[in-house]
Amino acid sequence: MTAPIWSQLLALNRPLVMGIVNVTPDSFADGGRHLSREAALAHARNLVAAGADLLDVGGESTRPFSEPVPLEEELRRVIPVIEAIRTELDVPLSIDTYKAEVARQALKAGAQIINDISALRFDPDMAPLAAATGAPVILMHMKGTPRDMQADPRYDDLLGEIKAFLKERRDFALAQGIAPDAIVLDPGIGFGKTFAHNLQILNHLDTFLDLGCPLLVGPSRKAFIGHYLGGLPPDDRDYGTLAAVAVAVHKGAKILRVHNVAAASQFLTLLRIIQTA
C-alpha cells in the first residue's frame, strides 16, 4: 500500500526534506549530472545517506522558457531510475510530472506520490489516476506554462490569487475523489513570479495554512537567490537556499524540496534541537 507510507511521513512532527533527482540533460541547477540510470541511482543513494525523507524523480526540466519533452523520452529517462531506486532503497518516491501516463508507469515502477506542477490541469487523466490509485498529489501554483511563465508575470493581488488558485485546485481534487489527507499544496516558487514575488510568498507563506493541507516549498538554487546575492551561479546558491528554507519552515512549510539534502537536513535537525531544548 502506498498511502500509509505517506501518512506516516506526514504524521511526523517535523519538516521533511525532499531530495531532487533530476534525470534530465538540461535542468537549471544539475542538468546532465544524473542522466544515466547508474548516476541517478548513486545520486539517490547519496541523498538518502544525507538525510532525505523522500525523493522527487523528474525527467523534464520545467525551468523558465523550457520546451516540453515527448512522452516516450520522459518515460525512458525516469522509469528505469525509479525501478533501480525502488530495488535498492526504502525511501518514499514522488514522480515530478504533469503527464498521467508517466505518473501511471512511475507508480507501477514503485513511486508512491505524484508531484504535478500543473496541479492536475495539463492532463485530464491525472486526477482520475490519483483518485483510483490513492496516490498523494502535490498541487503547485504556476501562472502560465514553463515556456511563457517568466515573460512578464503580473498580479493584482499576488497572495490572494495564489491562494484562490490553490483552494480551487484542492476542491477540484476532492471532487475528483482524491482524499483530503492525500493533498499537498505548493505556491510554486519561480513559476510565473518575479524575484520580489518569491520573497513575498516566502515571507507570507502562513497565508496558505488555513487551506488545511501540508505546504511544500521549492526555493532550491532558484534564480532569485542568485539575483539577491550578486549574481551567484546555481551551484553556489546552497547557503542562500538555507535562508529561504528557514523562513519557509518558520512560516509553516512541511516539505522542503532541495538539491543539497545534507545542508537542509543538517540545518533543520539543529534548528529542531535548539527549539526543543
Which residues of this protein are in contact with ligand HH2, per CB under 6 A? Answer: 20, 22, 24, 27-29, 58, 61-63, 96, 115, 117, 138, 140, 186, 188-189, 216, 218, 257
Q: How far is the CB of 275 from ligand HH2 (least distance, A)?
A: 25
Nearest to ligand HH2 of 89, 142 (CB atom): 142
Using Cβ positions, the residue closest to ligand HH2 within the complex turns out to be 218
Annotate the chain with three-state secondary structure.
CCHHHHHHHHHCCCCEEEEEEECCCCCCCCCCCCCCHHHHHHHHHHHHHCCCCEEEEECCCCCCCCCCCCHHHHHHHHHHHHHHHHHHCCCCEEEECCCHHHHHHHHHHCCCEEEECCCCCCCCCHHHHHHHHCCCEEEECCCCCCCCCCCCCCCCCHHHHHHHHHHHHHHHHHHCCCCHHHEEEECCCCCCCCHHHHHHHHHCHHHHHHHCCCEEECCCCCHHHHHHCCCCCHHHCHHHHHHHHHHHHHCCCCEEEECCHHHHHHHHHHHHHHHCC
Q: How far is the CB of 225 from ligand HH2 (least distance, A)?
A: 12
Q: How far is the CB of 257 from ligand HH2 (least distance, A)?
A: 5
Nearest to ligand HH2 of 24, 260 (CB atom): 24
Nearest to ligand HH2 of 92, 218 (CB atom): 218
Q: Which of 222, 237, 251, 254 is labelled catalytic? A: 222
Q: How far is the CB of 133 from ligand HH2 (least distance, A)?
A: 19
Nearest to ligand HH2 of 61, 105 (CB atom): 61
Quick check: is 254 catalytic? no
Quick check: is 222 catalytic? yes
- Active-site residue numbers? 222, 257
